[in-house]
Chain A
């Protein structure tokens, strides 16, 4: 009796300590999650804080006198004349008129406020509307990048060193009058890369990413699933299939740059495919994602209970019918989830693309699988490495676009798993 009581006593005495231990254990868990979350918060605030200005553009609105004599132009549909016409002069004249106190002698300083590509905008506008010639129109042009960063980062000395005091005073006046204003940066989403930060856009990289991902999906999904089905359902269990399995698991852990080297050696040097094109990028990323897709597809097939197969076989289905009619549909959600996660990984990859020439300055938005292209993470890399301060916010903005793609892909994977998954 006494023995038993002491046993209960011991338990009771230790109870407090055990509760304390448990509380501490939980606190460790919360701490771990807290560290992870705060890292995420720091990352996001840094990127968003630096990058939100990338989604804004600065424009100068002014009345432009499209005088044909001033531009040496009397027929805007004539391509020869367009080539030799002067589209800068009307802009300079319009700005001099817009700025109080500016004279003909300040031409160069005035010119420094307007984007170097504004003349191209003017040319294209006249080409599209030949009847505008010899009229006066109110038009908006991108400002010079120096003005853009000065306006967006008012008060930060690092951003204003490119403008002289007179130019700063002009910008302030124009800002007060509403001639210079900031608005949503649609240029960023409608153009390709540029050496001028104000004109640089991300559309080229987005299209490049989509083309590359399409090639990757078209190749890696069927190949990966066929391999998984064969290995799981048909392959005999022997040393050879074991060897294959070990190799697939190994490949999943190979650093991605190795796949880039492989792609360079095989697709470009051996098959003579062009550099920098989405097809080669897609092929390389296919090699990289295949192991992930095979492994997750095999896991999905394995999770289909044997009773389903046995029941199908029991009513006389052939092996292929069992697989195609019963196992595959039930395993499909898991396979799709694995593939989407594999694709999301491929979307964020730069290292293998470095070797096949997709890390490049490409202005035109790619129109097909054999056009030179770059991808989103590469665009981030290129802009982050540019010396111009204004590219830093472009890079952060591009990171946000990339993260949006990744988050939506992962959300799709989670949604599909929730929606389609069946439990036994």
Chain B
């Protein structure tokens, strides 16, 4: 009985201690949410920031661009994140949601670019594709005599006689991947829009037809393991692979990239958005939290520093296509002054 009383007393005590510490809700760790594409870069910056400075290492959640915006725009206060990453620009509707919830002052940082390439082994015949041809080769439905039918093209040469007479076989990321989303939106949809038949499509049909990859075996979903795709490409010269530019760069001695609309994917062409399948990466800072949560300003300065995003920066070695020097200088100014983002800029 005595023992039991003691146990109960201990439990009650521990419970009340836990309850008493509850009001201490202040947060001293920066909280970051958002895009899984930016996540590998932001985590590296966060870790460096944590080892370099006396601030705690920021906490990162990979929620996807849209999910991050939702959390970010939920309001001001320590339970809401301070920074959100995005692999696309903030939408006007998201900006308005932020405003409605009191998140009025936001600063936007464009931190570099990401390109998607179609690569093959150096021993394979390289492709020179237009976006239109790419869509005709990989789209789930293509127009034949004005009718949208399941893609009948078996060989590259069925699409255009200038292309190799080899079966269409392309390995790429699964639908859960952000790379796949961008590939659908930037490459396939753009190629589809180049076709005269696409003009008459309704908005829903456009999304269903122009942004979907064929599922008859010509496009092989390879999981997120890019190493595996590279091994496959080297072993099989009839195979082509779709992945992020950084991976092409790492394996530049063994892989070559197809040209799209005559543009070779190089870091410069992607940074300048000349290469058609390129997108910018962003992060957004909540100004109301700067100065409240320690280290936000310093973290942003670290992210935009020359050590991170310069031509020899560590983000470049993990595959980010860094912005040119003049853009980096603008970013540095932004990190110091934190200008407010206006709705007009997003439209």
Contacts and interface: CB of A to CB of B under 8 A. Distances in A.
Interface string B221-237: 00011111011000000
Contacts of B44: 195
Contacts of A389: 227
Contact of B25 (A120, A222, A272, A328): A272
A324 B18 contact: no
A195 B1 contact: no
A360 B30 CA distance: 12
B174 interface: no
Contact of A385 (B8, B14, B51, B224): B224
Contacts of B253: 164
B208 interface: no
A368 B39 CA distance: 26
Interface in B200-248: 224-228, 230-231
Nearest to B17: A218
Given A328-B4, A363-B50, A215 B18 contact: yes
Contacts of B60: 360-362
Contacts of A162: 250
A279 to B, nearest CB: 7
Contacts of A194: 47
Q: Which of the listed residues A221, A276, A363, A364 has the most CB atoms from chain B within 10 Å of its own CB?
A: A363
A157 B44 CA distance: 27
A219 interface: yes
Interface string B1-18: 100100010011011001
B225 A279 contact: no
Contact of B27 (A116, A218, A274): A274
A308 B61 CA distance: 55
Contacts of B14: 218
Contact of B61 (A120, A276, A364, A385): A276
Contacts of A117: 51
B262 interface: no
A369 B18 contact: yes
A164 B254 CA distance: 12
Contacts of A215: 18
A22 B230 CA distance: 56
Contacts of A275: 31, 61, 79, 81
Contacts of B31: 275-276, 357, 372
Given A195-B44, A218-B15, A387-B225, A276 B59 contact: yes
Given A222-B11, A272-B77, A274-B25, A364 B1 contact: no
Interface in B52-73: 52, 56-57, 59-62
A101 B231 CA distance: 31
A272 B44 CA distance: 29
A116 B25 contact: no
B51 A158 contact: no
A305 interface: no
A161 B230 contact: yes
Contacts of A372: 29, 31, 59
A273 interface: yes
A195 B319 CA distance: 14
B4 A329 contact: yes
A371 interface: yes
Interface in B169-213: none
A414 to B, nearest CB: 22
Contacts of B46: 361, 363
Nearest to A276: B59
A117 B52 CA distance: 11
B51 A120 contact: yes
B43 A361 contact: yes
Contacts of A219: 15, 18
A164 B252 CA distance: 12
Nearest to B24: A370
A268 B79 CA distance: 7
A324 B51 contact: no
Contact of B59 (A157, A158, A362): A362
A194 B52 CA distance: 14
A164 B43 CA distance: 27
A272 B57 contact: no
B18 A363 contact: no
A359 B227 contact: no
B251 interface: yes
A21 interface: no
A228 to B, nearest CB: 15
Contacts of B61: 275-276, 357, 359-361
30 contacts: A117-B51, A120-B51, A157-B231, A158-B227, A162-B250, A192-B57, A218-B14, A221-B11, A222-B15, A273-B79, A274-B78, A279-B18, A279-B22, A325-B1, A328-B4, A357-B61, A359-B62, A360-B60, A360-B61, A361-B46, A361-B60, A361-B61, A361-B62, A362-B60, A363-B47, A369-B18, A370-B25, A372-B31, A387-B224, A387-B227
- Listed from nearest, the 4 A-B pairs whose CB atoms lie closest are A363-B57, A361-B60, A372-B59, A360-B61
Given A195-B47, A360-B61, 14 more contacts: A116-B314, A117-B51, A120-B51, A161-B231, A218-B11, A218-B15, A222-B11, A360-B59, A360-B62, A361-B59, A362-B60, A363-B47, A369-B18, A389-B227
